[in-house]
Structure 1
Amino acid sequence: MNPTLITLMGNVRLMCKTIIPTNVLGPHDNYNLEDSHVLPGLTHKYLLVKQNNSPFIFGGTGKLLRQFIYHTLVTLLSSLSGLFFVLVGEEDEASIKDVDLLIPLSRRFHLKANNYSDTSRAHGQFKTPASNDKLKKYLPDFEFTPFDLAVKESVEKFVSNFDQA
């Protein structure tokens, strides 16, 4: 843990949890087209593609890998008592192209993948893998939500609430 943080916490008697997630996804994420996480941004773009009956064009090759974590784990960690510092990452990785294929298959979109890759655009950042070893010490029996189910639930919530957002 950061020595400065430990000193500060000792001086003010503050209990602190530091949770560093990878790409979080979930129903209450930021779906803004300009500054969202990867999956919510792609979901929002897909909704616009469906509304406009246009092809979906994503930047780069889609081959870069990401680790995603469903919001329920971050919420669970936030509720634990005590002082800890933990990196949170899904054990499995998914390429942007894999994510790009999962979103339109959600029953809310009913789209066949009509995707085009614009390889002249930037690929995005390379992954920085996170290890769950420390997390497993805190929650040894925790089971991760399957990625396709997490995507489906996130897409469902966003599309259902798009008009109110």
Structure 2
Amino acid sequence: MALLKIARMGHPVLLGRATPVQDPTSPAIRQLIEDMIETMEDASGAGLAAPQVHIPLRLFIYTVPEARSSEGDPPRAADALINPVLTPIGDEIAVRTEGCLSIPGWRGAVPRHARVRYEGLDRHGEPVSGEATGFLALVLQHENDHLDGILYPMRMTDLRLLGFEQEMARYGLGVGS
């Protein structure tokens, strides 16, 4: 396994639409998933999309750490979602503070759907689907955006709530993080 270099905001790989994974069970994809999990864990992240590691494929990994879990949104070990499709459930929007491994040190308040349905393939290439709320819904939407060339500041409606993580914590400017 290997740590992968994470692309930072400004790199063109983060702005394009990723292409579907043709063979989700190939050894190269399995190795990529393992390397991405190791990279995400090393960077203390909760998600990482393939474009963030300079590979423009429709694949991301995610986790729900114990500290971010809640009732109805239990902890989850790291897993992958390959060729994902996300569909909002209802009209409820939640505004929560997000960070991104491609925008280190920054956080911003982002409106997201409170509930989403997800479909795709897991890390073994098996079909998976379900509904997500809470932190999991946020992570899935954030990572799925990376597959379409969207970074979280592009979703923000109030740029006054974008800032350095340390400053926002110092002055209590986070929202529902």
> Which has a greater percent of helix?
1
Q: Which has the higher contact order (CA 8 A, sep 6+)?
A: 1
- Asked whether the two chains share a fold, i.e. TM above 0.5, the reply is no
TM-score (norm 2): 0.24
